[in-house]
Amino acid sequence: MTQPTATQRRYTAPCPGCGAPVEFRSAQSTHAVCGYCQSTVVRQGEVLSRLGKMAELFDDHSPLQLFATGSYNKRNFTLIGRLQYKTAKGTWAEWNAFFDDGTNGWLAEDNGAYVFTVPLRTQSALPEAARFRVGARTTINGKLYTVASNVSAQLISAQGELPKLPALGHPFDVVELRGESSEVLSIDYTQAPPTVSQGTAVQLDDLALKGLKDESTKEEKGRQFDCPHCGAPVAVALASSKSITCGSCNSLIDLSQGIGGELKSAMQDEPINPLIPLGTVGTLQGTAWQVVGFQHRMGVAPGDDEHFGWSEYLLYNQKKGFSFLVDSEEGWSLVRPTTGAPTMASSSAQSASYLGSTYTLKYSYEAETNYVCGEFYWPVVRGQKTQNKDFANGKSLLSLEQSPSELVWSHGEQISSDAVAQAFKLQDKKDLFKRDVAPFSAAPSIGAGTIIVVLIVALILLSLLSKCSSCDPKVENCSSSYRSSGGSFGGFSGGGGHK
């Protein structure tokens, strides 16, 4: 880490609301939230004025907290403020990172994914937010980006010292662009002209952070409530959860308005028992993951009446956020949303490139969620639909899911069924995990080898048909039946993909 530069003169004045000291470390900070009375104060020279009272912080599962320190691009920083935002699909936070040289950056946190950004000055004026169409490509300062999301957001709370403070509860547009090499460019329309920041995805360990919270989950009595359908007690483990299911009646409950708000529930018939029980912890690719959610999804290819199904386990790790363990007829795979945006072939979309590798399109289809259990960090509803494309390069997988407001790529790789069973200590059920399908080839060819492959696949499909005709969907994942096309390597499922 670099040696800190000379510290700027700090300014401290009594809070106009309660008299407690309010400190400004950065000369760029214009606002602060008093840590004692939650007054919102604005700094004008050396005078503080009270604007009102800030709403309470949304109690998330973040390991970050004020005054944690770290290093980004060999520059030391301290987290001195936090803004919490929400959209229709979830919440995210932006931490004000004060560098030792007196400048500011932002550490954006969205459900365990992190992006560090710094202000960017654009070479030309930006259009209004409505001009950015999700999935389209655009050039900013000579660099090509894909429009990943275009959403309406609002500030729900703030903490500490801040160089900006949008009006509380007032909606504004946020457009997010992604580059191929994990680049993120965010356009904030809280003011005119809009402000722009540019950055890259980061891991908390790479920031050499000190002063983090010890735990990411909260044990609170207030996180338990009665099911609105059957009255049974329902406990929420992750404070960021926006959806949960009742363990007694399998109702899907919407938590997006908070436990104190109106709880809406939807009945789910024919429950499916996951092969891996909720709450189970397993180690995959060197990381300890806890299973916190499970959903079963159905798909159908354009012009094809044949439906197919697969299952997705939502995995959680305090520092790495969320990943998806996917169980489909193609086998098991572990994927997570990418920060960068892969590039599809512009003419036919039959291939996509990502981080120097080319992936071949295997399936294109509409996906729909038809069963859910556990907790999710976005509001899950039955019947939720996305347009999907799956690409493959050997065991490496790439998936695209698109809704009207968001485009999300996921990247991962196939893993063996034995590795999954062993990771979650379920070797006694390893036969139920087997999916005897070979990895995809990135460059299919025609000839004798193809004929042999077709024969092998035919035998495998006959085996799957035989197995699914006699299996119990309440015991194992066989509700999908045979499909002639389609499939999911994972993918994001409508959650908050802001970062």
> Has residue 105 got a pLDDT over 70?
yes
**375 and 475 in contact (C-beta within 8 Å)?**
no
Look at residue 183 and tell me whether its pLDDT is greater than 60: yes
pLDDT-based confidence at residue 326 (cuts at 50, 70, 90): very high
Lowest average pLDDT, out of 23-32, 60-69, 193-202, 460-469, goes to 460-469
- What is the CATH code for 217-269? 2.20.28
- Bridge partners of 283? 288
Tell me the average pLDDT across 3-22.
Answer: 68
Residue 492 clears pLDDT 90, i.e. is over it: no
H/E run at residue 129: none
- pLDDT score for 6: 42
pLDDT at 259: 52
Q: What is the pLDDT of residue 465?
A: 33
Q: Are 342 and 320 in contact (CB under 8 A)?
A: no
pLDDT at residue 392, as a whole number: 94
Per-residue pLDDT reduced to its tens digit, 327-386: 998 899 999 888 878 888 765 678 998 888 999 999 999 999 888 888 887 777 777 888
210 vs 477: which has the higher pLDDT: 210
Q: Which one-letter DSSP state was computed for residue 260?
A: T
Number of residues assigned to the chain:
499
Provide mean pLDDT across the span 188-216.
87
Cα 351 to the center of its chain, rounded Å: 24
Nearest to 39 by CA among 24, 56, 54, 57: 54
> Is a pLDDT exceeding 80 seen at residue 426?
yes
Q: What is the mean pLDDT of residues 104-108?
A: 95
d(CA 337, CA 266): 28
User: Is the predicted pLDDT of residue 238 greater than 90, yes or no?
Assistant: no
Nearest to 72 by CA among 184, 163, 208, 181: 208
Q: What radius of gyration do the chain's Cα atoms show?
A: 24
In this predicted structure, the answer to whether residue 450 has a pLDDT above a threshold of 50 is: no
- Residue 111 has a CB neighbour count (10 Å cut-off) of 25
Query: Cα(101)–Cα(76) distance, rounded to whole angstroms?
Result: 9
- The tens digit of pLDDT for each residue in 248-292 reads 777 777 776 555 544 555 456 666 788 999 889 999 999 999 998
**pLDDT of residue 26 exceeding 70:** yes
pLDDT of residue 366: 93
Across 23-51, average pLDDT = 78
The whole-number pLDDT of residue 258 equals: 57
Amino acid symbol at 276:
I
Q: How many CA within 13 A on the CB side of residue 7?
A: 7
User: 379 and 293 in contact (C-beta within 8 Å)?
Assistant: no
Alpha-carbon distance 90 to 378, whole Å? 5
Rounded Cα distance between 9 and 119, Å, is 23
ω into 14 cis (within 30 of 0): no
Under the banding of pLDDT at 50, 70 and 90, the label for residue 150 is very high
Residue 342 is predicted with a pLDDT of: 87
Q: What is the pLDDT of residue 174?
A: 95
DSSP three-state, residue 132: coil
Report the run of H or E that residue 70 belongs to, with start and end.
strand 69-72
Question: Which residue do the tokens 């800190």 mark?
Answer: 4
How high is the pLDDT of residue 177?
94
Band (59; pLDDT cuts 50, 70, 90): low
The pLDDT assigned to 55 comes to: 67
CA distances (Å), 456 to each of 41, 362, 435, 437, 463, in order?
70, 18, 14, 9, 11
Model confidence at 453: pLDDT above 50: no
For residue 477, name the pLDDT band (cuts at 50, 70, 90).
very low
At residue 106, does pLDDT exceed 70? Answer: yes
Residue range(s) occupied by CATH 2.20.28 in the chain: 217-269
Of 37-51, 130-144, 450-464, highest mean pLDDT? 130-144
Q: Quick check: 478 pLDDT over 90?
A: no
Q: Tell me the three state secondary structure of residue 175.
A: strand
Asked whether residue 211 carries a pLDDT value surpassing 60, the answer given is yes
- What is the structure's pLDDT at 488? 38
- Asked if residues 486 and 298 have their Cβ atoms less than 8 Å apart, the reply is no
Q: Mean pLDDT across the chain, nearest whole number?
A: 77
Question: Where are any strands of DSSP class E within 88-232?
Answer: 90-99, 104-110, 113-119, 137-140, 143-162, 172-178, 183-188, 195-202, 224-226
pLDDT at 347: 59
What percentage of the chain has pLDDT greater than the value 70? 76
User: Residue 491's pLDDT band (boundaries 50, 70, 90)?
Assistant: very low
Q: Say yes or no to pLDDT of 299 above 70.
A: yes
Are the beta carbons of 486 and 365 closer than 8 angstroms? Answer: yes
**How far apart are alpha carbons 396 and 360 in whole angstroms?**
11
Taking CB atoms within 8 Å and a gap of at least 24, the contacts of 99-104 are 99/75, 100/2, 100/4, 100/5, 100/7, 100/75, 100/76, 101/5, 101/75, 102/5, 102/8, 102/26, 102/27, 102/28, 103/28, 104/26, 104/28, 104/163
